[in-house]
Structure 1
Amino acid sequence: MTVLNAQDQRALEGGPSFSLRHRLLRALWGITWLLLAAWTPPPLHRWRNLVLRCFGARLHPSARVYGSARIWFPLNLTMAAHAVMGPRVNCYCQGRIDIGEKAIVSQGAHLCAGTHDIADPDFQLVTRPICIGTRAWVAAEAFVGPGVTVGEGAVLGARTVLFKDAEPWGVYVGNPAERLKTREFRSP
């Protein structure tokens, strides 16, 4: 017997994907980020981390999030040591998003952990986790879709669109993303 969580149950009933409480919490989050963090200069990453942690994000103290980043629901965000979420990143974390150690998500990139069921007449929300591996780089304005894992050390070139897993140390470009080559890693 399959047990459904509250979100899946609402989807089956054709109702909203998220409860009123959840939507109010997101509204409070948006106002809080706007007033306390969105305008702050880059060196204040520890302050922004504190604001994110107050709303449930799990961030290593050395993780950095720029003020212009848009984070949909902090409770679904995890960032490891020295991970960076750059300016104007759209972190659409309807589902879980994990960013690994020393991983970089560059300016204007989109991490989208939600989509809609096109077989459903109400287009109900479907969430799938995203995992950005250790030492991976999601370059400027790249898009990572729901359920995708960017392997350790992988690189997504600027404006790359990725809907399938990226292999470790692979270099990907294009729309849809294609593996260009294997990245040679040299330890500093």
Structure 2
Amino acid sequence: MTWRSLRGFTGAGYDKGRCLLVQAIWFAALNILFVRWWFPARWRPALLRAFGARIGRRVLIRHRVRVHWPWKLEVGDDVWIGEDAWLLNLEKITIGSDVCVSQGAMLCAGSHRRLSSTFEFDNAPIVVESGSWVAAKAVVLRGVTIGRGAVVGASAVAHRDVHPGAVVTAGTKV
């Protein structure tokens, strides 16, 4: 068993990618504009681009979507991201074209080293390949690639790579 001493946490190995001022401006824009129901969906991709995201054409991002760091996000064409989705991209998240990330889904590119007494980061990028679907309340964890045309079903957890065309459901072992 590992006893944690969080006081010793250093955050070593995690690069936020922008200075504190840019981070603060993004968090203000995220919470004042981006997540609000009244902020037009057609403006959300433009706001993400203004902060360094690479966003394709005809991308629909619904309200209450959270993106941790836009500069660590790449999205293809014809992508839908549903209400309450959370892209916790401590490392890069790449979403291909014709992908649906449904309501309440979470793509979590961050974690911690379980055996580290100071709980240091253990982050890794996520790739969701074209034609895939991450269904409602599904979770994709750090370092995972969701293969082309695969489905991570409602409330399922993808903790390792999902092969192209595969379907993972809440009771499936991946």
Q: TM-score w.r.t. structure 2 length?
A: 0.86
Which residue does the alignment assign to 1:150? 146
For 2:155 and 2:58, how far apart are their aligned partners in 1? 27
> Which stretch has the larger CA shift, 83-92 or 60-69?
60-69
1:167 equivalent among 146, 149, 163: 163
Q: Does 1:31 align with 2:28?
A: yes
**Deviation of 1:18 (Å):** 5.1
Structure 1 stretch displaced more, 27-36 or 83-92: 27-36
Say if 1:26 and 1:72, in contact at 8 Å, map to a contact too: no
1:77 is aligned to 2:87: no
Q: State the Cα distance separating 1:70 from its structure 2 match.
A: 0.7
Q: Which residue of 2 aligns with 1:90?
A: 86
Unpaired segments ≥5 residues, structure 1: 1-12, 180-188
Higher RCO structure (Cα 8 Å, ≥6 apart):
2
Task: Please give the alpha-carbon distance, in whole angstroms, between the structure 1 residues aligned to 2:112 and 2:19.
Answer: 18
Contact 1:46 1:61 in 2 (8 A): no
Higher strand share: 1
For the residues of structure 1 that align with 2:101 and 2:115, how far apart are their CA atoms? 32
Q: Distance in 2 between matches of 1:23 and 1:33?
A: 15
1:178 aligns with 2:173: yes
Does residue 115 (structure 1) correspond to residue 116 (structure 2)? The answer is no
Q: Deviations over 1:98-145 (max 9, x none)?
A: 111100000000100011112322111122110111110000000000
Equivalent-residue separation in structure 2 for 1:124 and 1:69 (angstroms): 27
C-alpha RMSD over aligned residues:
2.2
Q: Secondary structure at the match of 1:26?
A: helix
Paired residues of 1:112 and 1:145 also in contact (CA < 8 A): yes
Report % sequence identity. 32
- Per the TM alignment, residue 61 of structure 1 is displaced from its structure 2 partner at its CA by 2.5
**Shift of residue 51, structure 1, vs aligned partner:** 0.8
SS in 1 for 2:122: strand
Aligned residues: 165
Q: Is the contact between residue 156 and residue 173 of structure 1 (CA under 8 Å) also seen in structure 2?
A: yes
Equivalent residues in 2 for 1:59-70, closer than 5 Å: 59-70=55-66
Post-superposition CA distance 1:76-95 (Å, at most 9, x none)? 11100001111100110001
Contact 1:33 1:51 survives alignment (8 Å): no
1:142-177 per-position Cα deviation (integer Å, ceiling 9, x unaligned): 0000000000000111000110111111111125x4
Unaligned runs of 5+ in 2: 1-7
